[in-house]
Structure 1
Amino acid sequence: MSQQDLFYNKILKDLEDGKLLLPTLPEVALKVREVVDDPDATAVQLADIIVTDPALSARLLKVANSPLYRGRVPIESIHMAVPRLGLTMVRNIVTSLMMEQMFKATNKRLEKRLKTLWEHSTKVSAQSQVLASKLPKMNTDEAMLAGLIHSIGTLPILMQAQDEPGLLENPQRLDQIIDNLYPRIGAAILRKWEFPQSLVEVAAEHKNLNRNSGPSGPDLVDVVQVAYLQSLFDTEKALDPLTLNKVISFEKVGADTGLTVYEIDENSEEYLEALALFNIKP
């Protein structure tokens, strides 16, 4: 058995045995989640936590005043933003904004990979937001977070790969291991974080091309799956048109299998605005 196969099997066994080291949410995001989960919590309590982090406060205000979320009156403070947006929406947005911290490299060898992974995740997130904004009963804040976490399972694989001589220098083999494992690991991470089942399913099922969410309207997995597949256009991982035409989520979301959100004129400005929330350019 090759070294790569041993690594693959170890990751899989550690995951099944509950021994795989999984990332944890940043402290502020955890505090926000605790408050929102408290049925007696108030908007003032939540705002008081957020204002302790000036950088987060500034970014949340930027989101609150973006085209996807703003109302008729500009939001000028966190204590104004929280009741206007609602506790659940603020929790999703804060979690999304804090997620970037987890993609910071502590090792130069991983820096490029983590940067590429973060940029790809933000683009799937932005496309998910725009798609969700066109669908009834679909929250753009949930879609933003769902797009960001769709490939979160890649993180522990990369961290483990640091300790395997030669694996980081064999990108083709490492990519194969990641592709095979990251959905399962991502679902395990989100369960550990006690995320809603709808988000766990996004991590687990967004690559399942045979998935059918049923007779009801599209769900989060449909939205993220379309955004994910669109993000592969013009890359070596792009699927052929015949395969894409069989993916039910495109029909359910009402998306064109041959166009990305960015390529559709009426949606491109919203996509750019959504990317700007993470300081990313297309």
Structure 2
Amino acid sequence: MTDNQSSSSLLELLRHYSPFDNIDDKLLQMLAMGIEVKTASQGFTLFSSGDYDADEFYLLNGTINLVANDGRENTINSEDPNTRFPIARLRPRMYTAKAATDIRYFVVSASVLDELQRSTRSSNSNVMVQEMQQKAGEDGHSLVYEFEQELKTGRFVLPSLPEVAFRIRELIDNPECSMNDLAKLVNTDPAIAAKLVKVANSVMYRGVSHCDNTQDAISRLGLITTKQLVTSFAVLALFNSNSHTFKDHMHQLWRKSVEVACYSYVLAKQLPRFNEEEALLAGLIHSIGEIVVLTYAERFYDLSTDANRLNMAASSLRGKLGDMVLTKWDFNEELITVARESHDWMRNDGNIAEDGSDFDYCDLVQIAILYTLQGTEQPPSLPEMTTIPAFQKLAKRQLTSEQTTAIVQEAEQQIEELRSIFN
């Protein structure tokens, strides 16, 4: 239903919403001609999960529930200052948006909004430039600032693990979980089932007999290893992009993560109290925040013409994003730390336990990262291997850099087999 609104009051209303607060009166008047304020009753659906609709929605009054495919909900209330931005812009839609109360809202074409945002970002307006420099730093990289605003306002939807992976993890955590029930659930995802059988028959886990089915594979691997491997396979499925522009970048990120995971695995096997499958998963998720950066760049803004800005956004935000993603997925704190701090090379510098007992999965992943980069052209910001606290902690555990190198070299066959599994 359309809400009658005078032209002057509509202009005043639009000034309270982004990006309309950064454009001149003449352009705003032109845009206002195509905007209508609407009302809807409780229960009305604005958009559904999976939609590729062409509109963006702004909430004026009332409350909206955003319901994800896995049943998780977010609530948006018009009194929240975050509603000055459009609601959940990611495509395909990751939420179904329903009115929890009677609402007032207005709609803007997504293409019009994107063009407006591009034009305001490239505007020579001193006010615009000064605002962005104050909020994004003297280098004026407004895209990074805008991305951070997306995160703070909840408009950017974090990726979710496939539903079957969540269900498998929950079933394994159930004390009454049976091998038969678990095998049936795993078999609902043929790709994961096939990979579990392949792993169970690999040199690393091979027993006397050949595993011919999922239940045999789970019996050999055990519940904990199965849980970690299923999660690893599900994480790898997120390294995907439909954008031609970012496809190569995402593929490089996937290859790097697999390499780090492989090295983390073989190193963990030599360290007491470390679980190699947990280390494998830690290696895979260490740059999970970059997946979000690439997804954001692909769906929202044209970063394809400036690789430096894209790389800067990835470096600046991957830790924060990784923390958010793994917290949402209910991962343990050690893995969250890996995603948040694995690129902070000097973490814990000057505060290392004498016995190396503070050596954790994040330290392990940092060492694995450096080994994957050996023989390649390394970025100038990368430290010398033996200077980082992670290696100093490892040395206190009586494992020198020379011994670590020997472990990696002797495990080349295992690393190659892991590569083939994840490929």
Compute the TM-score of the two structures, normalised by the length of structure 2. Answer: 0.60
1:185 & 1:252 partners in 2: Cα distance? Answer: 27
Query: What is the deviation of 1:37?
Result: 2.4
- Is 1:278 the counterpart of 2:422? The answer is yes
Tell me which of 85, 95, 99 is aligned to 2:231.
Answer: 95
CA contact (8 A) 2:236 2:284 kept: no
CA contact (8 A) 1:126 1:271 kept: yes
Equivalent runs, 1:17-32 vs 2, <5 Å: 17-32=153-168
Structure with greater proportional helix content: 1
1:16 & 1:229 partners in 2: Cα distance? Answer: 32
Q: Secondary structure at the match of 2:248?
A: helix
CA contact (8 A) 1:261 1:271 kept: no
2:292 & 2:382 partners in 1: Cα distance? Answer: 30
Higher RCO, 1 vs 2 (CA within 8 Å, ≥6 residues apart): 1
Partner of 2:84: none
Partner of 2:205: 69
Moved more, 174-183 or 224-233: 224-233
Q: Percent of aligned positions with the same letter in both sequences? A: 34
Tell me which of 379, 383, 395 is aligned to 1:237.
Answer: 379
1:172 & 1:259 partners in 2: Cα distance? Answer: 34
Q: Counterpart of 1:28 in structure 2: which amino acid? A: V
Partner of 2:270: 134
Query: What is the deviation of 1:151?
Result: 0.3
2:234 & 2:309 partners in 1: Cα distance? Answer: 31
Q: Counterpart of 2:421 in structure 1: which amino acid? A: L
Q: Counterpart of 2:360 in structure 1: which amino acid? A: D
Query: What is the deviation of 1:196?
Result: 0.9
Tell me which of 159, 164, 179 is aligned to 2:301.
Answer: 164
Larger radius of gyration: 2
CA contact (8 A) 1:230 1:259 kept: no
CA contact (8 A) 1:21 1:156 kept: no
Q: Counterpart of 1:164 in structure 2: which amino acid? A: Y
Partner of 1:256: 401
Query: What is the deviation of 1:204?
Result: 0.8
The count of aligned residue pairs is 276
Tell me which of 269, 275, 278 is aligned to 2:413.
Answer: 269
2:392 & 2:274 partners in 1: Cα distance? Answer: 16
Partner of 2:322: 186
Rate the CA distance shift 1:269–1:261 in 2: closer, same or farther, 3 A: farther
Compute the TM-score of the two structures, normalised by the length of structure 1. Answer: 0.88
2:380 & 2:184 partners in 1: Cα distance? Answer: 45
Query: What is the deviation of 1:239?
Result: 5.9
CA contact (8 A) 1:129 1:274 kept: no
Q: Any stretches of 5+ residues in structure 1 without a counterpart?
A: none
Rate the CA distance shift 1:257–1:176 in 2: closer, same or farther, 3 A: farther
Tell me which of 171, 175, 178 is aligned to 1:35.
Answer: 171
2:343 & 2:337 partners in 1: Cα distance? Answer: 11
Rate the CA distance shift 1:21–1:257 in 2: closer, same or farther, 3 A: farther
CA contact (8 A) 2:196 2:218 kept: no
Rate the CA distance shift 1:74–1:252 in 2: closer, same or farther, 3 A: farther
Q: Secondary structure at the match of 2:401?
A: coil
Query: What is the deviation of 1:259?
Result: 8.0
2:204 & 2:155 partners in 1: Cα distance? Answer: 40
Rate the CA distance shift 1:237–1:69 in 2: closer, same or farther, 3 A: farther
1:146 & 1:95 partners in 2: Cα distance? Answer: 11
CA contact (8 A) 1:127 1:261 kept: no
1:258 & 1:13 partners in 2: Cα distance? Answer: 46
2:340 & 2:235 partners in 1: Cα distance? Answer: 19
Query: What is the deviation of 1:258?
Result: 11
1:148 & 1:225 partners in 2: Cα distance? Answer: 12
Query: What is the deviation of 1:255?
Result: 5.7
CA contact (8 A) 2:260 2:284 kept: yes
Q: Counterpart of 2:359 in structure 1: which amino acid? A: P
Tell me which of 357, 360, 365 is aligned to 1:224.
Answer: 365
Name segments (4+ residues, structure 1) moved above 4 Å: 238-241, 257-262
Query: What is the deviation of 1:205?
Result: 1.4
Rate the CA distance shift 1:238–1:122 in 2: closer, same or farther, 3 A: farther
1:102 & 1:187 partners in 2: Cα distance? Answer: 16
Q: Secondary structure at the match of 1:67?
A: coil
Q: Counterpart of 1:222 in structure 2: which amino acid? A: D
1:174 & 1:260 partners in 2: Cα distance? Answer: 33
Rate the CA distance shift 1:239–1:160 in 2: closer, same or farther, 3 A: closer
Rate the CA distance shift 1:69–1:255 in 2: closer, same or farther, 3 A: farther
